[in-house]
Every structure is written in structure tokens, then in C-alpha cells.
Chains A and B, each alone.
Chain A
Amino acid sequence: MKRNKAPDIKTENALNIPYVKIILCLFLICTICAGLLGTTYILTRDTILENEKATVQKLLISIYGDDAVFESDVTVPEGQKAEAVYLAKNPDASLRGYAIRVLSPGFSDDIDMIVGFNADGTIRKIEIIALSETAGLGTKVAESNYLAQYVGKSDKLALKTDIDAISGATKSSRAVLNGVNLATECLKALGA
């Protein structure tokens, strides 16, 4: 790109550079920017956290129905690679199932998902929170008719024998499967 010709000549003569001015100027710009950033962060922080919670809540309701009561303060068992464990209870306080949130490395980024289990340890429903797979190929693993084949299964699953892969998106299919297996392990560690 074109640059200002005149000030460039000044750069040649290093002794003339007004260092103090540069430092002051950058300091000022950084201060303004820091102020702007800090304000935005504080203003948006709560909303972002609420959005996140609301998304998870919506997915939990979609797994367990809207009459379930959820507890989110279940600690993840030691040595398990799960992000969070949620407990779903029937209105009469008996266990409806555990939902386990896991991150599984996909084709381009982690797939963030919740695996919902029934009280007997079989899979009730899988919900994807976020994924950034190739549109039209990898994103097919998030479609409900693909995820439906997991319903009712339990224990460690394998691709092709237990679960079909999407052709052309084996890596994404495997990522979902790995996530489910992580969740299953975590469920066993919970002793359920």
C-alpha cells in the first residue's frame, strides 16, 4: 500500500525520532482501547454466561422433558474428561438420568455435546451444543436422525459395528462416537 512519503524521510535519521511522543501516543491509544474493552466485557459478561446456561438448560429439557428437575452441582469424578455432569430427577425426586457434557476433538475444532443417559445407563438422547465441521458433510453428524441410532445403546461403542459413519465424514462421525464413549466412562465412574 502507499505510504506517506514525507514522514518516511524522517525515519532514515534515527536521532530525530521523538520517542517520548511515540510512547505517550501508544500509551494513550492503549488506555482508550483498554477502557472500551473493559466496559464491553463487564457489560456483556453476565449476558454471555446466561446465554450459555440457557442453551444448556434448553438442551437438557429437550433430552428429559420439561417436567424434570435438574441439578448442575454434580462434581465430575476424578480422572474423567467430562466438562460437566447434570442430574435429572423426576418430580417425585427419583433419578431420571445423568446428562454428561463432553468436548471431543473433531475435524476442525472440538465438538461440544451433551449425552443424556437414562437411569438404567442406556442413552436417552444426544444433543450437540456447538460444532464447526465442514458444512454439508461433517455437520450431518449433528442431525437428529443420525444421532437417533445412539438411542437405547450402552457401554463402549465402536464405529461400523454399533454405529454407522456418515460417508465422507468419517472423522466427524468418529469424533461424536469418541465423545459418547467418554461420557459412558464418566457415567461408570459416577457409579450409576
Chain B
Amino acid sequence: MDLVNLLLIAFSAIVVENFIFSRFLGVCPFLGVSKQPATAFGMGLAVTFVITVSNFLTFEINDLILKPYGLEFLQTIAFILVIAVLVQLLEMFFKRYIPVLYHALGIYLPLITTNCAVLGAALLAVESYTSVLEATFFGFASSIGFLVALLIFAGVRERLVFAHPPRAFEGMPLALISAGLCAMAFSGFSGIQL
């Protein structure tokens, strides 16, 4: 386990295989909370926390419980349970200590559970990494990629408010097309061989 390897994982997870723009993981909250940079930042941090901890836990669970007993077909259900518990804890914590953020994130807080980025990160880590450090770091780096995409797009959307598109394109369609343009920019990284 060396530093270069970690840097490669980080670079690949943040720009080359960005969760939003290349793997389509976590697109629902991405479209939902990117209207304001402040909310986007809060959501991004919540997701980063959940993914990093859940990747650590799910990797250990897979290694210590599921693999020895040949129960890999239970991966999906076991992982999602760990994630659900984590999210519930976070929801309670926000409600009690940071009510502003709790109200701002609204429906999307319980929906972090169904944020495919969280389960996706857990399943991808188990599949592609062999050490728990790599897996956890991969989760952390991927969610930073998610946060970066969220912030970039929140900036774009602030400007979209002033645009006057044809009526049919108002709101989501325009946001989706802008996301497509961001994805085009990110696809410039996909030729890089690591």
C-alpha cells in the first residue's frame, strides 16, 4: 500500500470515473439539491461522511462474515442495511444539532439511503479492492468527486435561473442538458490511461 497507489485511486475516482458524469451514480440527489451551492455543499458533506464510513463497514462485513460462509449473494441486502442505519443516525444528529441543515435537505436526507452512490461505492469497492484501506479511501475519493460535481453544477444552475428557454425546456429539461454539457467536459478525462 503506497502513496502513489492512493493518488491514482483518488484521481481516477474524482475525475476520470466521476460518480455523476461517468458512472451515473447519485444522479437523483444531484439534480434535487443542486439549486443552491450552500445546500449542495451540505448534502455533499453528508454523502461523503456516509460513503466513507459505510465503505469501511461493508468491506469488513463482507470479508469477515459473508465471504467465509459463502453468503455473497446477500451483499446487496447486508450493505443496504448498514447504510440505512448510518443514514438514520445522521438524520437524528442533524435534527437535534443542526436543524437548519435538516430543514434544507428535507426529503433528500432519508433518501441518501437510496442514493445509488452509497450502495454503488460499497459494491464497487468490494469488487475491485483487496484491502480495507483502499476500499475506504476509494469511498472517500468517490464522494469527493460527487461533491465536486455537485458544487460545479450548483454554480451552473444559479446562472440558469436567468435564462429564458422555450417553455418546454424550463426547469429539469434544461438542467439535464446542462448536466450533459458538464459530462462532456468531464469525458475529456476518460482517455487518460492510469
A-B contact count (CB 8 A): 10
The dominant DSSP class at the A interface is helix
> For the complex, what is the distance from the CA of A171 to the CA of B23, rounded to whole Å?
16
Interface contact A41-B73, CB-CB below 8 Å: yes
- Specify which chain B residues have a CB less than 8 angstroms from the CB of A170 in the assembled complex: 191
| Binary interface encoding of chain B residues 161-178 relative to chain A, with 1 for a CB under 8 A from any of its CBs, else 0 | 000000000000000000
Closest to B22 in A: A108
The answer to the question of A1 belonging to the interface, with a C-beta cut-off of 8 Å to chain B, is yes
Residues of B155-194 contacting chain A, CB below 8 A: 190-191, 193
> For the complex, what is the distance from the CA of A108 to the CA of B193, rounded to whole Å?
14
Interface contact B74-A37, CB-CB below 8 Å: yes
| Binary interface encoding of chain A residues 94-118 relative to chain B, with 1 for a CB under 8 A from any of its CBs, else 0 | 0000000000010010000000000
- Specify which chain B residues have a CB less than 8 angstroms from the CB of A105 in the assembled complex: 128
- Specify which chain A residues have a CB less than 8 angstroms from the CB of B23 in the assembled complex: 108
- Specify which chain A residues have a CB less than 8 angstroms from the CB of B191 in the assembled complex: 170
- Specify which chain B residues have a CB less than 8 angstroms from the CB of A108 in the assembled complex: 23
Residues of A117-131 contacting chain B, CB below 8 A: none
- Specify which chain B residues have a CB less than 8 angstroms from the CB of A41 in the assembled complex: 73
The answer to the question of B107 belonging to the interface, with a C-beta cut-off of 8 Å to chain A, is yes
From residue B92, how far is it (CB to closest CB) to chain A in Å? 10
Interface contact B77-A37, CB-CB below 8 Å: yes
- Specify which chain A residues have a CB less than 8 angstroms from the CB of B73 in the assembled complex: 41
Across chains A and B, which 3 residue pairs bring their CB atoms closest together, nearest first?
A41-B73, A1-B107, A37-B74
Interface, chain B (partner A; CB < 8 A): 23, 73-74, 77, 107, 128, 190-191, 193
